[in-house]
Structures are given as structure tokens and as C-alpha cells.
Amino acid sequence: MKSVAVIDCGTNSTRILIVDGDGRTLAREMTITRLGEGVAQTGILGDAALDRVFTCLTRYRTIMDTFGVSEGKLVATSAARDAANGPEFLVRCEAITGITPVLLSGAEEATASYIGATADLEPSTLPVMIIDIGGGSTELACRVNGAMVAFSMQLGCVRVSEAAFHQPTVTSDEADEARVMIVREIDRMFAAVPAFSDLVGAVRLVGLAGTVATIAQMDAGISEYDRNAVHHRILRRSDVQRWYETLAAETASERLLHAGMVPGREDVLVGGLLVLDAVMARFGISELLSSECDILDGVAAQLQGRA
């Protein structure tokens, strides 16, 4: 089996994973590119955001060449789904990277994230539900009696932050506005997928992507990324609430002073924490497991026939 590259062009970051024929990681990188900047307001991917992503993809192509990898898949998610110029964006992505671009639906994104995040989990007596809080969307997925129950909410750390937070620190009115937005979307999810109601109080939650990864790193108190310190770290809902209260009262520059805060997430992490807390509350969940395996790993497994 050949080595493959998977690139994820997300709303807040652009990431690459290269695995060998046995699925072992050769390279994994993340760059904050904020592709979805302003998309909710304008309906298009902005020129500055596109330039950031294309510059990043050019570098990722060099990494692929270093490992002699020419096959793989580039996936685009919420920002590209929402933007009128999403198709043109994908054409340029393919020209730069040489690999096939795919605009994932919310359900496809949720399924790939589930495959990636659950591959290395110990067996659980409860169904495992993943939460993937991205920049523009949040995916929930759980396999119940062999069938995938999944939904993609129009909620993400960038989307919530751009819509509700306009002051240096989060005001009570802004927090209320964000919570109303979040609860409305969670209500829509439960109405669309009644099976989620049966999972209240009856799932094991696994969190992935930037919001959970960053808060896990901050909770561990480490400045330099250490996968072993954050992968499968347990975070209580009280930890999520404590970090929200701390960060909401600080300016973006003050948030950067915390060990583990990833530059480029300081202005949107609070929005992601509100989403996470609201989902945990609705499902009656007191703790979650942080996972560093995610949609990249899931897509790689699908490409190589391991899923």
C-alpha cells in the first residue's frame, strides 16, 4: 500500500497528515490560516484568506515531495461549503497540491472524524460520541447498533466569535447572545435527528480539533506541544467552564500569556468553549476524552481501505 497525504482546509486552520503504507504517521502539521474569516457575513472566501491558504498549501506540497508522496485527498469543510466561490477555491487547491479535492458534506465530515478519533480507543461499555468543534461547524457522530448517527451544526469557534464577540473582553450580553445562538442550533439538531435524544446521559464523549486540543494543552500547563500529554487527556465539564470564565474576562493578548495557548486561537477559543459546554450540558455529560486523532486520520484510513 502506498503512502498518502491528507490535507484538511478548515475554517480556522489548514492541516496535513502523511502516512506510510501501514498507516504510520510520517508528518503532521497545522497552520492557522482563517479561511473562513468573514464568510458568514460576506458569503465568499476573501482574498487575504485565500492567499494565506494557498501559501500554506504550497509549503505542504514541498513536504509531500520530501516524502515522495503524490497521492492523497484534500478535503474542504464548512467555510468552503458556505462560500459562493468554494468551487473555484477547490480548483486552485488541486493545481497547487496535485491531489484530488473534495468538498465534504457535514455528514461525511462527521463520519471521517468519528473513524479517526475512535480507531485507537479502548473498548467502552457506552456508545462513543465524538464532538469535532471546527471554525465554522461542529460535528457530532455516534455509532448506534451499527448505524452512524451524525449531524453537522452551523456552529464553530470562528462563527460564534465573529457573530457575538465585539469587545476586548466578553461581556455578559455578548455571552448571552452566543448562548442563544448555540442553543438554537442544538435544538435544530435534536429536531432533525431524534436518535440523539436516546443518547442523553448514555454516551462517552470524545473531543477533537482545535478547541479541545488547545484547552487540553492549557489544562496540562505545557507551552510546547506534547502529544502524549494531551492525547486521551480527561477534561471535566468544570474544567471547560473554569477556562471559559478565565479567558472570557481577558483580552486576546492576555490569553496568549497562558502556557499552551496556540497563537491564532486566542480570539476564537472562548466561542468554542461555549459550544462545548452547551453540548455537554444538553447530553448530561460530565467529562470528555481529548483525542489528537481526527478527520485527517479518518480520511487516511478510508483512502487506504483501513476503515
Render pLDDT for 35-89 as a digit per residue (tens, 0 to 9).
988 888 899 999 999 999 999 999 999 999 999 998 999 999 888 988 999 999 9
pLDDT in the model for residue 73: 96
Q: Are 111 and 150 in contact (CB under 8 A)?
A: yes
Average pLDDT over residues 183-187: 96
The percentage of the chain sitting over the pLDDT mark of 90, rounded to a whole number, equals 78
Quick one: 4-103 is in which CATH superfamily?
ATPase, nucleotide binding domain (3.30.420.40)
**Adjacent-strand bridge partners of 72:** 5
Query: At 294, is the pLDDT very low, low, confident or very high (cuts 50, 70, 90)?
Result: very high
For residues 4 and 303, the answer to whether their CB atoms sit within 8 Å is yes
Q: How far apart are the first and last CA of the chain?
A: 14
Q: Looking at the predicted structure, is the pLDDT value of residue 307 above 80?
A: no
pLDDT digits (tens, 9 = 90+) for 257-267: 999 998 989 99
Lowest-pLDDT choice from 112-126, 187-201, 289-303? 112-126
| pLDDT score at 136 | 85
Fold matches, 4-103 and 107-295: yes
* pLDDT for the residue numbered 145: 84
Return mean pLDDT, the chain: 93
**Measured CA distances, 27 to 43, 65, 269, 296 (Å):** 33, 12, 26, 12
At 144, phi and psi to the nearest 5? -125, 120
HSE toward the beta carbon, residue 94, CA cutoff 13 A: 10
Residue 194's pLDDT is: 93
Residue 305 burial (CB count, 10 A): 7
Domain 107-295 has CATH 3.30.420.150: yes
pLDDT in tens, 104-160: 988 899 999 999 999 888 887 889 999 999 888 999 999 988 889 999 999 999 899
Question: Which pLDDT score, from 0 to 100, does residue 278 have?
Answer: 97
Q: What is the pLDDT of residue 52?
A: 97
Confidence of residue 181 (pLDDT cuts 50, 70, 90): very high
What are the sequence ranges of the domains in the chain? 4-103, 107-295
Q: What percent of the chain has pLDDT over 70?
A: 100
142 vs 155: CA distance, rounded Å: 18
pLDDT surpassing 90 at residue 188 = yes
How much is the average pLDDT of 179-206? 95
- Residue 264: per-residue pLDDT: 86
What per-residue confidence (pLDDT) applies to 106?
85
